[in-house]
Chain A
Amino acid sequence: MAEASTARTDDGSGTDSQAPKAARSTSWLRNLSRTNLATLILLYITFLHLIGLYIFTKGFLLTRLTIPHVSPKYTVSNPPPIAATHSKAVIIIIDALRTDFISPHHPYPKSSHHHGVLTLPSELSQSHPDHSLIFNSFSDPPTSTMQRIKGITTGSLPTFIDISSNFASTAIEEDSLISQLLAHNKTIGFMGDDTWVNLFPDSFNLSHPYDSFNVEDLHSVDDGVIEHIFPYLTAANQSQWDVLIGHFLGVDHVGHRVGPNRDTMRLKLEQMDRVMRRIVEMLDDETLLVVLGDHGMDDKGNHGGDSELETSSAMWLYSKSKPLKGVIEHDKAIREIWPEYTFPGSSTPLRHINQIDIVPTLSLLLGVPVPYNNLGSVIPECFSGDVATLEAATRTNAEQIDRYLGAYGDESLKSALQIAWKKARSTVDSEDQMHTSQISSINTHRHYALLALRHLRALWAQFSLPLILVGALILGLSGVTLVALYVGVRNNGTNWDIYARLALETSFTASAIFGSIIGTLAGIYTASPATAIKVFITTAAIVSEVIIIFPLFLKASIPQSFNINRYIGPLLLVAHSLSFASNSFIMWEDRVVLFLLTTIPIIYLIKALSAPTAEMRLRIIALSLAYAALIRVIGTVTICREEQQPYCRVTFFSGSTPVAPRWVVLATIPLALNILPRAIGITLTRSKSLAGPAPFFLGYLFRGVLLANAAYWGLEYLEINSESLGLSEAAISTASLVKLWIARFSIGTILGALPYTWFISPLCIKIGEKRVNQETGQEEITILGFANSYGSTCILFFLIPFSLVHLTNQPMGQLVLAALLVSVLLYLELVDTRRDAIILQSQFASSSNTNQPAAFDGNLDTSSTIVRPSFTDLVPITLSGFLGYFTTGHQAVLSSIQWKAAFVGFKVVTYPISPLLVIINTWGVFALSALAIPLLALWNISPRPSGGQTLILTHTLQLILGFLVYHTFITFSSAITSAWLRRHLMVWKVFAPRFMLSGVTLLVVDLCCVLALTVGVRVTAWKVKRTFGFDSV
């Protein structure tokens, strides 16, 4: 390979050796140095990823701005539009109560298990039609309990991400029915599903939450509600509360466990019927009873999606003394636009409302303002006493929605609703109190409210398929582009720059031309410059990708021999990518990654016996076993996802538990003091490169920083456990001050002293004694550490970001990081030994003495040849990044973010440093895996003494491209699976979070690869050139 290339001048530009055809042009691309060219490739790839992810995300991740405004309180000067009808309310939520469970019109065929069991609502509707109203209510998908509770308290629509000011909490910060009730001094009692308490942490004066998670347990939540609700309803205790909320979970749990068509369901509904009867019996005249299902359930008893059975939930309103329904209900002109709904299989229609309609209705009935964000429209029946009341209610409702839309500030939305709003206002402006104008006011305002809801549903709840497809296309093609570049760089060896210049130049030119043409056309067609620019960028990205991919299909060849080493890497990538198609595999990805990762050293172990010398065989066996075992031990550390229960035990200590048990905190100190610096030292000693700056760097700087990092979390532990340890107040405040400054010292050293020392210090080599060669009479000097002069310098660079990640991780995470670093060192040695074995084998093959292998033991020069790295070589490092993510206490769920990291070195949240620290904590291990990739190309590769070139840059670029291939396909796979399964039950719980994780990861590793190349490898190569004068190409 190396012989084929011509000698190069020292300027490193490489222009002189180009093929004659290429030399004709004088474009800027040709004048870039090789390092800059490699950086340009990576920046180009980053650009593609950014474009692809941006477009995809825009189409897929539905977001909504939450507006913190609150509807003004009703006072004497701001009186309610209509008088409150009830002063108290009992709101009963029976989880997963589907419409047909309480409907008087049973669908055909009737199921004896859930039809006609909970009969109280239909009985009362029969006997007191004006006091008891049954509706079919439409629950907006996703039909999961938390989203629905948000819906029935704020009156808004759920989206995946509610962008609000506080990103750390699940609590509802918008205006809601609950906050309005509290503002009007109403006392709220709550019992049941603890999701409510997470959403409204300090709102309930009387609170009896029960764990909602255990689906196996059918009764304890219900029993808890029953135990607490009846005492409140007794006459003596009626004055203690104004609103009671009870949330029964039993029906839902029965559905999940056995489905709706079992006896268990009948028994559960019978129990609910008994409870309802008792509640109705105990109600006083002032109280309104609302019974509703937060969502329905499908045939199998599951929910979460948007199917008809899941979105139709029951709603029942009952008032003992005051009638709910008035006379004008029979007025045809009003009734006209009240929709009806026929449940599947049933023949008689039922009144149909949106579930969120309960929010404005309840607000006005109880005499509190409608919450600011509400999008529901009042249930007209409840205000049908006379026309004026209904008009006032509907108008107030529409005005509130208009206020909200004004604050939301979406121009296209405003223009779409302008006509309806003007029409509605014209009926008010006429000042005409005639019956007909009031009726038209009711109808137009109602129409406006419903239209607004429809538009916002489209805005928030509908995916944009074209954007998803274009984004996925760019992302997928960028993966293939990377494969093409990888193959190009690999096959061209030292001449990779000629290939890369040609490929980039062609693709940039073509994409600029096509992009301009199509962008201009689009601009002319739509007459909007913004569209023209967007179309230009999109087209340019796609065209440039296609141009680079094209040669891949020209030279496609089927390999002749099967070699498991060569195929296992790509095979693992395929397996890992395919696993994203199932929610189970995503939930268990930590174990999947462990399985895939340990497969590689096991294959090395099996193949070890074919190595040529006994020493190598033993070394490979020992190293691969040690590597696999260490990885397995690291893999035991986990913070379990809730879905992994009961098959998972939490071994990463964080969150609500103390930082860590004492032994973990204590273990980090000796680790920082001795074990970790020494492990690196021992590894470097093997190549005699614990020389030059290395002892000082490792022994003082690195050790000191690690010690500070460990001490920080040690003090944090003392502070948290101060009570059980019996520390005095003064000691605690001292500890917190010392802790703060230790972290600041550590950050300062990591960002200042470490990089500076690394940058100015020479290579890690030692000049041995001078000796006179007896034969030639020339003076010779031995240089210790020469063979690993690249690797030893580069690993010192790697330790700088490592220390930073180390600081942001809790003690358990620090243990894992240390183990991962040791595993990387083991792996580097393993790869080096295997490389030597391959060189020896090829020398066997080429030598004539193949019959006497024993003659080759020892005395073999393995340093002169460099084996081309393979894709499989980089897979373990890549997978270590994934494994490290999971074992440092993260999972692909939002709740696993370690907010504690935000306060390292700061007392309060400080922008932008605190979010940055959280990002370093979360994506640190991925970033480290990217920064470790060049080590594979550099480890134990000695500079070529004979004026030759060391293929450092070529191999680094090849490996980085391979690494990005892996991450791009992972991201692409998680993107298309989450888009494909966008109507799946688990999409917002499993698929979308996984996509968000891999999307950010991709950008992080892109940037870290650029960093590794431009700083790590470039400075290392520059140091080697300065010392020995050898080029690294």
Chain B
Amino acid sequence: MYECALSTAGGSFLLYTLILILGAPLDSHHAHSALLAVHISTLTVWPVVHALGVPSIYESGTFARFRMTRLFCEFRPETPLERALVYPVAGTLLGAWCGVIPIPLDWDRPWQGYPLTPAVSSILGFILGGFASWLHSALLDTYDEVQQNHSAMAADTVTSKKKRKTKRTY
């Protein structure tokens, strides 16, 4: 818990910088930006650190560091669990990025105010990411199962033939 909270705080700081860089006002709305950063960080950093922990910077952490890089820099998850971890994170960030689109529109609706739309769409992205990871894993599993069945059946026929052959020779 302690580790999670600390790294979420660190993530918030980084995200706050990125939010400012992407164009959040520099002279106002600081609390809004900071809260948005905490919100996104809670959606992205917390679950990951909770599941994988913070890799050690020493020799013992080499594998964990490589895994982190593979998952979050190269976006190459390999197992369903990794997918369930990576997809919501990507969805959250993508959702927050797309969430700025309604802000400049001249509809004069109160919900258009910054940072409501990025916050809401990051949650939507998180949910959709979860679904996507489930769908991807499920489809892959189904595909594998079909393949296995297929090859098992093929193997079955081969072995039965062999058995028959061996029976004959005996």
Contacts and interface: CB of A to CB of B under 8 A. Distances in A.
A808 interface: no
Interface in B24-73: 26-27, 68-69, 72-73
A606 interface: yes
- Looking at chain B's contact residues, is the secondary structure mostly helix, strand, loop, or mixed? loop
Given A591-B23, A610-B69, A599 B104 contact: no
Interface string A612-636: 0000000000000000110110011
Interface in A575-629: 582-585, 587-588, 591-592, 594-595, 598-599, 602, 605-610, 628-629
Contacts of B1: none
B105 A632 contact: no
Contacts of A598: 21-23
A607 B20 CA distance: 19
B21 A587 contact: no
A679 interface: no
A362 B72 CA distance: 75
Given A583-B106, A599-B22, A608-B73, 18 more contacts: A562-B75, A584-B104, A584-B105, A587-B104, A591-B23, A592-B104, A595-B23, A598-B22, A598-B23, A602-B21, A602-B22, A606-B72, A607-B73, A610-B74, A631-B21, A632-B23, A635-B23, A636-B26
B120 interface: no
Interface string A537-574: 00000000000000000000000001010000000000
Nearest to A633: B26
A591 B73 contact: no
Contacts of B75: 562, 564
Contacts of B9: none
Nearest to B100: A595
Nearest to A635: B23
B120 to A, nearest CB: 18
B106 A584 contact: yes
Contacts of A602: 18, 21-22
B134 interface: no
Interface in A608-666: 608-610, 628-629, 631-632, 635-636, 649
Contacts of A631: 21
Contacts of A584: 104-106
Given A564-B75, A585-B104, A595-B100, A632 B69 contact: no
Contacts of B20: 632
A605 B18 CA distance: 10
Given A606-B73, A636-B26, A588 B104 contact: yes
Contacts of A587: 104
A610 B20 CA distance: 25
B65 to A, nearest CB: 9
24 contacts: A583-B106, A585-B104, A585-B105, A591-B104, A592-B104, A595-B23, A598-B22, A598-B23, A599-B22, A602-B18, A602-B21, A605-B18, A606-B72, A606-B73, A607-B73, A609-B69, A609-B72, A610-B69, A628-B21, A631-B21, A632-B20, A632-B21, A632-B26, A635-B23
A113 B22 CA distance: 47
A585 B97 CA distance: 16
Nearest to B97: A599
A594 B100 CA distance: 13
Interface residues of A, number: 28
A605 B72 CA distance: 12
Nearest to A582: B105
A636 B26 CA distance: 8
Nearest to A594: B23
A787 to B, nearest CB: 28
Given A584-B105, A585-B104, A587-B104, A595 B73 contact: no
7 smallest A-B Cβ distances: which pairs? A610-B73, A588-B104, A584-B105, A628-B21, A584-B104, A632-B21, A609-B73
A594 B23 CA distance: 7
B21 A629 contact: yes
Contacts of A628: 21
Contacts of B74: 607, 610
A591 B25 CA distance: 11
Interface of A: 562, 564, 582-585, 587-588, 591-592, 594-595, 598-599, 602, 605-610, 628-629, 631-632, 635-636, 649
A240 B12 CA distance: 70
Nearest to B93: A606
Contacts of B68: 609
B132 to A, nearest CB: 13
Contacts of B100: 595
Contacts of A609: 68-69, 72-73
Contacts of B106: 583-584
A558 B163 CA distance: 45
A631 B22 CA distance: 10
Nearest to A630: B21
A595 B69 contact: no
A587 B20 CA distance: 21
Interface string B73-107: 11100000000000000000000010010001110
Contacts of A585: 104-105
A635 to B, nearest CB: 7
Nearest to A629: B21
A636 B20 CA distance: 11
A571 to B, nearest CB: 11
Contacts of B27: 649
Contacts of B97: 599
Nearest to B90: A564
Among B23, B27, B75, which residue has the most Cβ atoms of chain A within 10 A?
A: B23
Contacts of A583: 106
A599 B96 CA distance: 12
A584 to B, nearest CB: 5
A463 B59 CA distance: 72
Nearest to A610: B73
A635 B22 CA distance: 10
Contacts of A605: 18
Contacts of A562: 75
Contacts of B104: 584-585, 587-588, 591-592
B125 to A, nearest CB: 15
Q: Which of B20, B22, B72 has the most CB of A within 10 A?
A: B22
Contacts of B18: 602, 605
A676 to B, nearest CB: 23
Contacts of A635: 23
A607 B74 CA distance: 7
A182 to B, nearest CB: 41
Contacts of A636: 26
Contacts of A606: 72-73
A689 B21 CA distance: 32
A602 B23 CA distance: 12
A842 to B, nearest CB: 14
B15 to A, nearest CB: 10
A590 to B, nearest CB: 10
A486 B149 CA distance: 46
Contacts of B26: 632, 636
Interface string B7-21: 000000000001011
A610 B104 CA distance: 35
Nearest to B70: A610
A599 B23 CA distance: 10
A585 B100 CA distance: 12
Nearest to A606: B73
Contacts of B23: 591, 594-595, 598, 632, 635
Contacts of A649: 27
A836 B22 CA distance: 27
Nearest to A586: B104
Interface in B101-150: 104-106
A948 to B, nearest CB: 32
Contacts of A592: 104
B161 to A, nearest CB: 37
A602 B18 CA distance: 7
A562 B68 CA distance: 19
A591 B26 CA distance: 13
